[in-house]
Amino acid sequence: MQISGAHALVTGANRGLGRHFATQLLERGAARVYATARRPELVDLPGVEVLQLDITDPTSVTAAAAAAPDVNLVVNNAGVATGADLLTGDLDLLRQELDTHLWGTLSVIRAFAPQLAGGAILNVLSALSWFATPGAGGYAVAKAAEWNLTNAVRLELAGQGTQVTGLHLGAADTDMMAGHDVPKADPAVIVRAALDGLEEGRWEVLADDAAHMVKAALALDPEKFYAPS
**What ranges do the domains of the chain cover?**
7-225
Beta-bridge partners for 52: 37
CB half-sphere exposure, 175, CA atoms < 13 A:
12
Which is the CATH superfamily of the domain at 7-225?
NAD(P)-binding Rossmann-like Domain (3.40.50.720)
Per-residue pLDDT averaged across 74-103, rounded? 96
**What's the pLDDT at 99?**
98
Region 9-24: mean pLDDT is 96
- Asked if 60 contacts 54 with a C-beta cutoff of 8 angstroms, the reply is yes
Residue 69 is given by DSSP the state T
Which pLDDT belongs to residue 171? 86
pLDDT single digits (tens) 168-210: 999 867 666 556 566 677 999 999 999 999 999 999 999 999 9
**Counting Cβ atoms within 10 Å, is residue 74 exposed (0-12), middle (13-18) or buried (19+)?**
buried
Average pLDDT over residues 23-38: 98
**Sequence-distant (≥ 6) Cβ neighbours of residue 99 within 8 angstroms:** 56
In terms of C-beta density within 10 A (0-12 exposed, 13-18 middle, 19 or more buried), how is residue 89 classed?
Answer: middle
Tens of pLDDT, residues 100-152: 999 999 999 999 999 999 999 999 999 999 999 988 999 999 999 999 999 99
Longest dimension (CA), the chain: 51
61-79 pLDDT, tens digit per residue, is: 999 999 999 999 999 999 9
